[in-house]
Amino acid sequence: MRLNVFVKGKLVAHLYRQADDYALRYTADATADDFVSLTMPVREEAWVWPRDLHPFFRQNLPEGFLLQVIREEFGPYLDGTDLSLLAVIGGSGIGRVTVTPEGGAPGGELEPLDLKSLLHEDITTGHFAELVRYYARAAISGAVPKFLAPERPATQPPVGKQTLRTSRHIIKGSDEQTPYLGFNEHYSMQVLARLGVARVARTTMSDDGRVLVVDRFDVDEMGKPAFGVEDACGLLGLPPHEKYRPSTEQVLNATKPYIAAANWRREAEQLGWLLITNYVVRNADCHAKNIALLYSDIDDVLYTPAYDIVTTEAYPRFANNPPGLSIDGRKTWAPGRTLERFFNTRLGIAPKRYREMVEALCDAAVSTGKDIAEAAKNETRWHWIAKQMLHAWNEGMASLRSAKPQVALRALTPVIEAAGFSDAETAGKSREVIGRSELLANPGKEH
């Protein structure tokens, strides 16, 4: 099997098996700007990766529930290799690179999605699973149910006018193991977004709090994929299931070399804001695939807007999980001076500035926490997830502010008490990893 590889619609390379390896060979007319990956610039010699697809192509392969659906729907087109999986879903992925079989891709054209209906009607787990199944041909990674879909225009265009139907959004849903995940992620993202100090992906929550619509940042104003996206896991040459293996230092070493020196100070803070936010909201699922680079060309490489920020500790079965990335060889929610030293020595952010960033995020967490409490007051079904999130944030702020957190550092305590929230439900001794839910994937498989 040979696949055609396109960059912004231009055929630039071919991808194929070569004995037990995989090879990417650029076409004779490919220019330096037509590079598929930052790690694979245009050259005459083929780029060969042993035994598996090149990490760049694996970064967006589906996982969990979505992978299960694709196997059910497109089984006849799959031969057990990632190459055949990429042939099915590679035409509608994230970023400026698309992949199609030389003989054409299976499946018909998708109907546009009615976002208004999705946001304003109650969407059950079963209904969302049906949507995932229908829009399954999308090269998007992750184990939580989500998909890409074109948006249905608000009004019908004039007769004879050609319309551009492209994927502008990532749609994410909840399940019984992670109830109201849309509510959780939307407000967790708002902690950083409300400060206006860093780029953050724009989110819209459905009325029932189960679904989250995330605006894609890899498309232009017309909704056409125009920017390259590469996560740190792929840049490190690791397969997706090893996304928790790297340290924060390794992630930095893999991404920093591609960022121009003139932009580094700004981008160091962009990364710094993301790291601190995950400690404040207790997001254990910030791994090497959730830190990525965005670029229009080789001279314009930046960190992507922050995305996938979720309070994982809100869910008891995941509450004992440590941070996804280690710092100085440790994974702990009480980093002490370790995190501050990383900011100072690795990011070039002075201790005073680090402390200012921590306090700014804690203030934002309190403001957002008040919004959450008010939302739960008006909608009782959000009461439980709101309570769980606020307790997690309270602990996150206190642990980040001091190695020995005191009651005075738990700034959300008055909000929690005023809302009448009870103590948080805590986890047992067993620990599970996000993405290991029976609904999402086979329980014995890593993600």
pLDDT at 315: 95
Q: Is the pLDDT of residue 107 over 50?
A: no
Q: How far apart are CA 64 and CA 143, in angstroms?
A: 4
- Which tokens belong to 78? 């799959």
DSSP one-letter string for 197-238: SS-B--EEE-TTSS-EEEE-SSB-TTS-B-SEEEEHHHHTT-
The tens digit of pLDDT for each residue in 41-71 reads 999 999 999 989 999 999 988 877 778 888 8
Chain mean pLDDT for the chain: 86
Give CA–CA dist 327/110, Å, rounded: 44
Residues 324 and 322: their CA atoms lie apart, in Å, by: 6
Q: CA-CA distance, 387 to 175, in Å (whole number)?
A: 19
Instruction: pLDDT band for 369, please (50, 70, 90 cuts).
Output: very high
Query: Can you give the pLDDT at residue 92?
Result: 79
pLDDT at 116: 83
Q: Which of 327, 320, 199, 324 has its CA nearest to residue 271? A: 199
Banded pLDDT at 153 (limits 50, 70, 90): low
What's the pLDDT score for residue 407?
66
Given a contact cutoff of 8 angstroms between Cβ atoms, the answer to whether 73 and 85 are in contact is: no
pLDDT at res. 167: 66
Cβ–Cβ contacts within 10 Å for residue 111, how many? 12
Residues 6 or more apart from 120 whose CB is under 8 A from it? 206, 207
DSSP string, 90-112: GGG-SSSEEEEETT--SS-PPPP
> CB of 14 within 8 A of CB of 25?
yes
Give which of 270, 272, 305 is closest to 290, Cα–Cα: 305
What are the CB-based long-range contacts (under 8 Å, 24+) for 69-74?
69/132, 69/133, 69/136, 70/136, 70/137, 72/133, 73/133, 73/136, 74/106, 74/107, 74/136, 74/137
For 249-293, write each residue's pLDDT tens digit: 999 999 999 999 999 999 999 999 999 999 999 999 999 999 999
Chain position carrying tokens 């189960």: 210
For residues 261 and 86, the model is more confident at: 261
pTM of the model: 0.88
Confidence class of residue 104 from pLDDT cuts 50, 70 and 90?
A: low
